[in-house]
């Protein structure tokens, strides 16, 4: 029973999981933002190319 109570009180694993989830959320947000910037930049280059022709 003491070992079980010791496992319940151990929060190190939970903290690592929380940090992992936060890192994953930041990565997803960064990927989405970079995708939108890429599309916008591609559109800008297409407009410049059309004006040069």
Domain count across the chain = 1
- φ, ψ at 11 (rounded to 5°): -105, 5
Which residue range is the domain that position 44 belongs to? 1-52
Per-residue model confidence (pLDDT) at position 24: 96
Average pLDDT over residues 27-44: 93
- φ, ψ at 9 (rounded to 5°): -80, -15
DSSP class of 10 = -
pLDDT band (50, 70, 90) for residue 4: low
Give the distance, in angstroms, between the CA of residue 44 and the centroid of all CA atoms in the same chain: 26
Q: Which residue has the higher pLDDT, 14 or 50?
A: 50
């Amino acid at each position: 029973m003491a070992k079980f109570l010791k496992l319940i009180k151990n929060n190190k694993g939970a903290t690592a999981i929380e940090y992992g989830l936060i890192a994953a959320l930041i990565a997803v947000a960064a990927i989405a933002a970079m995708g939108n910037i890429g599309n916008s930049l591609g559109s800008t280059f297409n407009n410049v190319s059309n004006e040069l022709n």
